[in-house]
Structure 1
Amino acid sequence: MAISIGDITIPDWELVETFIRASGPGGQNVNKVASAVQLRFHVKNSPSLPEPVKARLRTIAGRRMTREGELIIEAKRFRTQEQNREDARERLAALIERAATPPKKRVKTRVSANQKRKRVEDKRRRSEVKAGRGRVTGD
């Protein structure tokens, strides 16, 4: 089952799923069953992702990305292997979707002259208030 995000589709052969033992609730079952999923996706070598998306994904992924360009997602929220598998795939899709939307261009704005004047007046007023808190000298 391939992951589709908009016009980007990641085929199953690009994903490597490893099942590991999870910590947390589950009683004795937790020691016997490998219900956690470790999903690996090699971003750097993926033919499915365009270069700008790969670059944004590198910054968004943070510590989840290795030096070699491999994205690792561990899912151990649920007690069943299938739910964790779906969770890992959904989290990967959400990351790629975030990376696929280009950031909005920042429109430079200027501080108006009136705002600058108000700021300076407020600073002057505050300075006067603080100056009035000084030590009182007796006559």
Structure 2
Amino acid sequence: MSGPYVIRGSVVLPESELNWRFSRSSGPGGQHVNTADTRVELRFPLARTEALPPVWKERALERLADRLTEDGVLVVRADQHRSQWRNRETAAVRMAALLAEATAPPPPPRRRKRTPRRVNERRLQEKKRRGDLKRGRSRGGGWD
């Protein structure tokens, strides 16, 4: 693998807590596919980890609740590539990105702003103009 995978800031995926499993992939590869274990399953015990700050861990557990197994393990699978090494890279990068997104702080609340009076007036004038135009079509003047 190519070094530590940064979640955000100085927080990285701890190599000691990652659990790798390999199996045969159903993707491209011809006869090679029947003999090599190229599918990668990366498991990270999110509920038990000490690598994340408590606030981040809480946020991630809440946001990723539907993706966790019953014992709080986050699972990412990769089998796009013919090479196990590239699938490992893909799974680790995907795991780091998933955790980065899940631990991000919530966006600031949206503040409602008043619609400017001129905008409302212009909209109503346009509605009136369109209505008059359509009303003018039904008055039977024209195509005789």
TM-aligned CA distance change 1:87 to 1:124, over 3 Å: same
Distance change (3 Å), C-alpha of 1:7 and 1:73 = same
Structure 2 segments unaligned to the other structure (5+ residues): none
Alignment check: 8 A CA contact 1:60 1:95 kept? no
* Counterparts of 1:121 and 1:111, CA distance in 2: 16
Percent same amino acid at aligned positions? 36
TM-score by length of structure 2 reads: 0.75
Q: Give the Cα–Cα distance (whole angstroms) in 2 for the partners of residues 124 and 58 of structure 1.
A: 53
Q: Please, which moves more after superposition, 93-102 or 12-21?
A: 93-102
1:129 to 115, 126, 133: 133
Q: Is the 8 A contact 1:75 1:85 kept in 2?
A: yes
Report the counterpart of residue 112 of structure 1 in structure 2: 116
**Contact 1:18–1:38 at 8 Å: present in 2 too?**
yes
Q: Which moved more, 1:30-39 or 1:108-117?
A: 108-117
SS at match of 1:72: strand
Give the Cα–Cα distance (whole angstroms) in 1 for the partners of residues 132 and 71 of structure 2. Answer: 59
The 3 A distance-change label for structure 1 pair 59 and 31 is: farther
Aligned-partner residue type, residue 15 of structure 2: D
Following superposition, the deviation at residue 52 of structure 1 comes to: 4.0
> 2:92 corresponds to which letter in structure 1?
R
**What is the aligned partner in structure 2 of residue 65 from structure 1?**
68
Task: Select 2:56's aligned residue among 42, 50, 53.
Answer: 53
Structure 1 residue 26 displacement after superposition = 0.2
Structure 1 stretch displaced more, 88-97 or 59-68: 59-68
Compared CA separation, residues 59 and 112, structure 1 to 2 (3 A): farther
Question: Which aligned pairs between 1:10-89 and structure 2 lie closer than 5 A?
Answer: 10-57=13-60, 61=64, 64-66=67-69, 68-89=71-92
User: Distance in 1 between the 2:65 and 2:138 partners?
Assistant: 51
The separation in 1 between residues aligned to 2:17 and 2:135, in whole angstroms, is 68
**How much does 1:24 deviate?**
1.7
TM-score of the two chains, using structure 1 as the length reference: 0.77
Shift of 1:79: 0.8
Task: State the alpha-carbon separation in 2 of the partners of residues 74 and 52 from structure 1.
Answer: 26
- 1:54-87 deviation line (CA, Å, top 9, x unaligned): 4544576586434543221111121111111111
Task: Indicate if the aligned counterparts of 2:44 and 2:74 stay in contact, CA closer than 8 A.
Answer: yes
Long gaps (5+) in structure 1:
none
